[in-house]
Structure 1
């Protein structure tokens, strides 16, 4: 059996993530013509943290709070029967809900598109937004579904033998995006 060694390379560090989120916040404001009807919904775990960070930046730029929440996708995943049982997360919607609003789903890494599809299905059960957009810190390619991000921090072409790991200060003690390549020996 070959020995596998993981080699990690940082592709984004703290200042890079800060700049990417600042740019995404500006792009959201530009595309939605202000933040009046925007709701940010993070896909746990790291997407929820990124949504809160985006809301803070938008508040700095616009002088108004943007509603933030989370959307649990556990029961909407298409791999439930393939993986061990996992605990249900919590969907936490802003008090005014999402009906008639522009919802920006926020996630850390866009890969196959299956997580976003699950989030769209979950969203259908909690309200009827006017529009849904997608913001992701990293788009690594390899889509299996016809899903595209509206806002991307970094496009990062990867091979299937590579993994992308996002670390955020709030959950991991530091900000970084690592590309991990598994090499057989």
Structure 2
């Protein structure tokens, strides 16, 4: 199995603009909304979505509340013996009563999102949580998790890995190896 290009720059930009328009339709002024990216791969996507919002509606990024969430100690494989290195959580605002836009690059089994929801509860009770993902690998869900905002839905096999490279403006499907798990 070889590496295959799933999304190239022009299509990726189009998808980001569409996601921005969908968010505007649902959140309008974003006064009661906050963006929280799951560490580490949701951060680049959050920045790309915020940039798209700035381009399509002249929303200043600094006017949007943005945070990052580490889920290391909420994962269900926490005690599996793997060496886990926690990242930092930075949520410099109250989430109580807010509409959270939870962001990650790929929705696969749903376990990462479950861990993120568990971690969010430690910070308060939001009004609601909406999931935004760039790629939804719909065939391999272990938990009943569904994104409200999806860039692209794909069918893929378990032996494949989806790699999002927002700096390189591309998304790839690559063979899964012990290193990229």
- Give the TM-score taking structure 1 as reference length: 0.87
Q: Partner of 1:98: helix, strand, or coil?
A: coil
Tell me if the contact between 1:38 and 1:103 (Cα under 8 Å) persists in the aligned partners: yes
1:124 is aligned to 121
**TM-score (structure 2 length as normaliser):** 0.88
1:73 Cα deviation after fit: 0.3
Q: CA RMSD in A?
A: 1.6
1:148 aligns with 2:143: no
| 1:114 corresponding residue in structure 2 | 111
Unpaired segments ≥5 residues, structure 2: 177-181
**Equivalent residue runs for 1:5-154 within 5 Å:** 6-60=1-55, 61-64=57-60, 65-94=63-92, 96-141=93-138, 142-154=140-152
Residue 17 of structure 1, CA deviation: 1.8
Tell me which residue corresponds to 2:179: none
Moved more, 140-149 or 96-105: 96-105
Deviations 1:137-184 (A, max 9, x none): 000121100000000001011112222111121xxxx121111246xx
Q: Which runs of 5+ in 1 are unaligned?
A: 1-5
Shift of residue 85, structure 1, vs aligned partner: 2.1
Return the alpha-carbon distance in structure 1 between the equivalents of residues 31 and 58 of structure 2: 10
Bigger radius of gyration: 1
Alpha-carbon deviation of 1:21?
1.4
Which has the higher mean CA deviation after the structures are superposed, 112-121 or 62-71? Answer: 62-71
